[in-house]
Structures are given as C-alpha cells and as structure tokens.
Structure 1
Amino acid sequence: MTTTAQNTPDDSYTTFRKDVNMTAAELEKWLKTEESKSVGQDSGNGSSVGHQSGEKIVRILRKKKADLTAADQEHMHKVHSYISRHAAQGPEHKKDVETSRWRYSLMNWGHDPLKK
C-alpha cells in the first residue's frame, strides 16, 4: 500500500479501529449465525464477500499492530471504503434497522450501526 502524508499505515489503522466497532470475539460469534450467512454478494465459493471479509477482520483484530502486513493494510482500507459507503445507505425506516439486511451486511464487515 502506498502511503502519503495523509494516508500513513498509522492513519489506516486508526480509521479501521474506529470503523470496526465489534471485537474479534463478537464478530467471530456473529459470523457463525444464519443471519450473517444470509446476506451479501456470493463470492463464488459458497460464502459472501462480506463474510470472507469478516474472517479477515477477525485475524487482523487479533494481530499486534506491528505485525500487520501490506495485505492487512490493504484490507483495512477496503473495510473503511465499504463501511463508509454502506453506512450512508441506511434503511428508509429506522424501526427496521435491527433486523435489516443492511445492518447484517455491515456487521459482516465488523461494524454494528446499533452499537454505542
């Protein structure tokens, strides 16, 4: 990953940690649910792109910052891009958020929009 003064690995890590508001344990537990498996674009191997991303996020969250690879940095940027885009597309009715495919998809990427 190319870095600039505005986009250093430290900045990417900080942004990633702000975006991903679920712990590794919470995300791992979520990824085992039928709700998690019910959403997302098929990756072609039986699980969704978001579900596979969630598995990578769990591995990244369990690493020490110093042990992050260039591939981890690239995935952290992809996670930020997805969460930023998808979070802006919330459901029409706020009462539907809790069980919405929108929320489930975000949670596969490590972000629970209902978590404070």
Structure 2
Amino acid sequence: MADALELDVLWDEFHRVVNMTSQELAAWLKVSDADEETEPLPEHAGSPTGQHVLTILQKRRTDLTEDDISVMYEVVDAVEAEKDPTLEPTAEDPATQETERRHRLMTLGHDPLRP
C-alpha cells in the first residue's frame, strides 16, 4: 500500500486528470458501448478500466484498495501519455484521429475538450 503522502499526491493527480463526473462517465460508457440494436447493462458498459474509474470516483480516499491505487496510477499515466500540447482542443468531425483520441481518453474519465 502506498504511504499517506504518496496516496495524497496520487488522489489529487487522479482527480485532476479525471475531469468528468461519475454521472458523465457512466453515461459516456453506456453510449460508447451501445450499437444500433442493443444497449449494455450499466454495470457492464465500457471497458473494465472505465468501470473501475467509475467505482473509484464513488469512493472515499480511505476506502481505496490496492487494485484501485493501481488503476489510478494507470489512468494518470495513460492520460499524461496522450497529452499533446501542440493540439488545440476543438470539437471535430467524428471520423478524425483526434476524435478517436478524445473518445479513448473519455473512456478513462478525461475529456480533453475541458480546461
């Protein structure tokens, strides 16, 4: 288990990069997994990591498990790795590579169009 200071830093960093609320993330996971004919059950919508982020958002810091901490590190690292300071955030055509990048990040709870 991480020490208290390390956990404080991780908690703050995770909540900085995860800039979607739990309601927004739940809705996104549901929409992103839906197709023309079916819609997944809410508890099965989205990737396992997206579902875990949603669970973490609904927890208090004192209730985190080792798995939660591991996912928090994974999400912070993934969002930081995807950042591109040369790209100005814009709403774009759904077929573009930037839209795919945005959707990938939103599955982790990060909307790059938000400041």
Q: Verify same fold: TM over 0.5.
A: yes
Q: Which runs of 5+ in 1 are unaligned?
A: 39-46
Could you tell me which residue of structure 1 aligns to residue 17 of structure 2?
A: 19
Give 1:42's aligned residue.
Answer: none
Report the AA paired with residue 29 of structure 1: A
Q: Distance in 2 between matches of 1:13 and 1:54?
A: 17
Stretches (4+) displaced over 4 A: 1-5, 93-98
TM-score (norm 1): 0.73
Counting matched residue pairs gives 101
Residue 59 of structure 2 corresponds to 63
Kindly tell me: are residues 77 and 83 of structure 1, through their superposed partners in 2, closer, same or farther at Cα, counting changes over 3 Å? same
1:39-66 residue CA offsets vs partner (Å, 9 max, x unmatched): xxxxxxxx9xx72211100000001111
Percentage of identical aligned residues: 32
Distance of 2:21 and 2:113 partners within structure 1: 14
CA distance in 2, matches of 1:16, 1:94: 21
TM-score calculated relative to the size of structure 2:
0.73
* Cα distance change on mapping 1:94 and 1:18 into 2, 3 Å: closer
Q: CA RMSD in A?
A: 2.9
1:86 deviates by 1.3
Aligned to 2:105: 106
**2:13 and 2:76 in contact (8 A); partners too:** yes
Asked if residue 78 in structure 1 is aligned to residue 77 in structure 2, the reply is: no
The one-character-per-residue Cα deviations of 1:17-41 (angstroms, maximum 9, x if unpaired) are: 00000011100000011xx239xxx
Could you list the runs of 5+ residues in structure 2 that have no partner in the other structure?
Answer: 35-43
SS at match of 2:47: helix
